[in-house]
Structure 1
Amino acid sequence: MAQRQRYREGILEALRLSFLYFLLVLYLIPFFLVFVNAFKDRSQIIANPFRLPSAFHLANFIEAFKKMNYPYAFWNSLVITVLSTALIVFFSSMTAYLFARLPWKFNRFMFFLMVASMLIPFQAIMIPLVKIYGSFGLLNNRWTLMYMYLGFGCSFAVFLYHGAIKSIPLELEEAAMIDGCSRFQAFFKIVFPLLKPTTTTVAILDVLWIWNDFLLPSLVLISPRNRTLPLSTYYFYGTYTSEYGLLLASLILSITPVIIFYLFMQRHIIRGILQGSIK
């Protein structure tokens, strides 16, 4: 009886694994098509998009690199992503520290207000937001875009930091302040280094969000010189609609940096989220 039960469990486990591998193949097919067809010309793609290219030439990538003005787009995305993420980490950590260590009624109210603001979709406020900033002449400015990212990204970051800070013993800060540290110094010398897993998680999630974001930059950045990589890819697609190889090559050029970043940093995500949100 026990042997039959183990045999049945083995069959169910094999079926589950087979189903998961099947889903994995379905998930990877679009990536396979993008990668393979980026090395072909238009006639080869139309003839058979599933066939491997006869030779892996980089002509599509070189041409896409030049025509989409990749260096400027990459630099804009890099500056906006790095500075926006740094601002979110800096202000969110201090705000969460204030909410966690000074439990005033006003602070509790503001914390719950920030958490509740995560339920409001951006699409509900984007038209008034653009009209207000446009009336003050603040559009087409990278600093305006970074300021908006700070506003939209702080709520979730404060939520993660708040849970992590509450798990840090208050006695560590009290000992530092007895030794002569101010509260500001105690935060940056004692508390903030202990928040490294949460900081890493916030940074990874915000980098992925800001680097890949299309809607907000498309509303704020008007000049071609200020375009980010998603915007450059979009306008490149509008210009070379029938050149499928060029389009797929530009897509790979756009997503490669953030994929590399994610592969190096992914192991920190779950650990940081568990530390910040469960405690």
Structure 2
Amino acid sequence: MFRYTRITFAREILMFVVAIVFVIPIYVLVNLSLREGGDVTSPLVPVFSPTFDNYADAWSQAGLATALLNSAIVTVVSVTIIVVISSMAAYPLARIMSGLSTTVFWLILAGMLIPFQVALIPLYQTMRDVGLLGSLWALIIFYCGSQVPFSVFLYTGFLRALPREYEEAAAIDGAGTLRTFRSVVFPLLRPITGTVVILNAITVWNDFLVPLLYLSGTPQQTVTVALYAFVGQFVSNWPVVFAGLVISIVPVLVVYFLMQKQIIRGFAGGLKG
């Protein structure tokens, strides 16, 4: 029987306090986005006459429609490529227990230790030489190269915790390695795939430095770069700026809430592995 004790009450109070700490920044962001331009009261004071004109101004003046589309294209294509390459690379690394496999695994993980800022300028020169500078493909290639090592690490840990019985049954039925991975293994990777998708999507969507460097001077821009230019142009109208920020985080929040069960299961499976 469950007994409600003082310890349980203390834990509930602690969780409530933690929830308040995480909710306050979101409250401030939404609260400021609904204010008039001349309202200079404290950000914690609730707005009593909200206006949604700030969202219309942010959408039209900052060009968020095009920027959101560019960010969505870069994020979707990058995450798709990362999932395909990382899952296929992790499968033999998790199943082939040999010295070569272990060495390759640690070499891939070594890519996580290299600061991405070190490669920004050399890659910038490479993208310029091959004619991809100012293109969304420059961002996609960069994100795929920088995020694959971490994704391989997550997939490998999860795969090592999966039993081999299903794969052995598929082999007995005559399925090859690629068919076994596509039809048997990859569907079992759904929890960790959700984790890989949301972590990489947030990283790609929120990145500012790489799009600013690789798309500078071109009409192409992601949502973070659009908001940066928007702040510089309308620095005195902060409610419009915060309205643009709210618009930019809505897609990520929607994806997260749709995949939160897979994310939690993926983290649990990865830690177990």
The TM-score with structure 2 as length reference comes to 0.89
SS of residue in 2 equivalent to 1:125 = helix
2:60 to 56, 61, 66: 66
| Equivalent residue number for residue 149 of structure 2 | 155
| Equivalent residue number for residue 38 of structure 1 | 33
SS of residue in 2 equivalent to 1:169 = coil
2:172 to 157, 175, 178: 178
| Equivalent residue number for residue 90 of structure 1 | 84
1:247 to 231, 241, 259: 241
In 2, Cα distance between the equivalents of 1:70 and 1:200?
27
Runs of at least 4 residues of structure 1 off by over 6 A?
none
1:267 to 248, 261, 265: 261
Q: Is the contact made by 2:157 and 2:271 (CA closer than 8 Å) also made in structure 1? A: yes
More helix by share: 1
The Cα offsets for residues 248-270 of structure 1, whole Å up to 9 and x where unpaired, read as 11111111111122122222222
Cα distance, 1:22–1:103 mapped onto 2, change above 3 Å: closer
The Cα offsets for residues 124-162 of structure 1, whole Å up to 9 and x where unpaired, read as 332333233334432211112111111111111111211
Q: Is the contact made by 2:211 and 2:225 (CA closer than 8 Å) also made in structure 1? A: yes
CA RMSD of aligned residues (A): 2.4
In 2, Cα distance between the equivalents of 1:261 and 1:97?
26
The Cα offsets for residues 214-245 of structure 1, whole Å up to 9 and x where unpaired, read as 12222222255321111111111111111111
Query: Aligned residue pairs: how many?
Result: 271
Q: Is the contact made by 2:190 and 2:262 (CA closer than 8 Å) also made in structure 1? A: no
Structure 2: 5+ residue runs without aligned partners?
A: none
Amino acid at match of 1:185: R
2:185 to 182, 191, 195: 191
Cα distance, 1:115–1:14 mapped onto 2, change above 3 Å: same
SS of residue in 2 equivalent to 1:55 = coil
Q: Is the contact made by 1:159 and 1:277 (CA closer than 8 Å) also made in structure 2? A: no
Instruction: Quote the offset at 1:91 in angstroms.
Output: 0.7
The Cα offsets for residues 156-201 of structure 1, whole Å up to 9 and x where unpaired, read as 1111211222233334323323323221111101111111111111
The TM-score with structure 1 as length reference comes to 0.87
Cα distance, 1:26–1:189 mapped onto 2, change above 3 Å: closer
Between Structure 1 and Structure 2, whose CA radius of gyration is higher?
1
Cα distance, 1:170–1:22 mapped onto 2, change above 3 Å: closer
Q: Is the contact made by 1:76 and 1:228 (CA closer than 8 Å) also made in structure 2? A: yes
Instruction: Quote the offset at 1:93 in angstroms.
Output: 0.7
In 1, Cα distance between the equivalents of 2:171 and 2:182?
12
Q: Is the contact made by 2:34 and 2:52 (CA closer than 8 Å) also made in structure 1? A: yes
